[in-house]
Amino acid sequence: SKLISWSMAKSVTSSLVGIAMLDGKLKLDQPLNDPLLDDGDTRRNITIRQSLHMSDGLRWREDGYSDPVSNDAAKMLFGPGRENIVAYVADRPTEFKPGEKWRYSSGTTNLISAAIARAVSPRSLKDPTGAEGYRNFMYDRLFRPIGMNNVAAEFDLAGNFYASSLVHATAQDWARFGLLHLRDGVWDGKRILPEGYVDFLRTPTTAEGATSWLRAR
C-alpha cells in the first residue's frame, strides 16, 4: 500500500535540491527570485539555504492543524491556496529579516520546489507549467535510481509539486529513501546527492527558535 508522506515530502524536496546542485543548476546561496514577486521586492532575495533552514522570515502559522481558519498550511493545501500553492505562499508578507528566526513552514518548502522546477524544467509550449519535466526529473534522478518504484507525487492545477506534503510511496520505498541518506547519498556506487550534503541537511540551523523547538520535540 502507498503511504502518504505528509512532511516526509520535505526531505524529498531537499534531496531534489541536492541533485540540482550536483548538476550545477542550483546553489545554496542563490536567491529564490520567484517571478511571482515584483522586481525590487526584497522577498526575491531570500536564499535557498535560508529556505531550507526555514528562516525565510515570511509570516506563516502552522500550529493548530485542527483550526483551518488560521492555519496557513491547511489553507494552502485545502483552502484558497489549493489550486496554486506557490502563489498562496508568495502572498505572505515579511515578518522577520531572512536568516534570523526559524519558523516551521510547509509554505517555504513549496517556494523551494518552485525554484527547483524553474532550474530543471523550463516551461515550453509542450510543457506550459513545467510539471511534466519536473516530474521526469524527480523520477529519473531520484526515485528510479534507488528502486522507489511505487511512488506517486501530486501536483496542483497550476503545475506545482506539493513538495511539502503529498508524496505517496510504499514502506519499502520510504526505507530505500532513508537508506540513501544513511549512505551519504550514494546508491550502488553511484552518487545521487552531493558529497557531504546529507550532513548539511541534518545539521540544525542556528536561527533563533530552532534549537528550543528541537528540545521540545
Angle separating helix axes 8-22 and 131-138, nearest 10 degrees: 90
The residue-averaged pLDDT of 97-111 equals 97
pLDDT of 217 reads 54
The residue-averaged pLDDT of 82-89 equals 98
The residue-averaged pLDDT of 97-123 equals 97
pLDDT of 211 reads 77
Confidence band for 216, pLDDT divided at 50, 70 and 90: low
The residue-averaged pLDDT of 91-115 equals 97
The per-residue pLDDT of the chain, averaged, comes to 95
Confidence band for 79, pLDDT divided at 50, 70 and 90: very high
Tens digits of per-residue pLDDT, 54-75?
999 999 999 876 676 789 999 9
177 contacts: CB under 8 Å, gap ≥ 6: 8, 11, 12, 15, 146, 148, 169
Cα dihedral 56, 58, 61, 63, rounded to 10, equals: 10
pLDDT of 69 reads 79
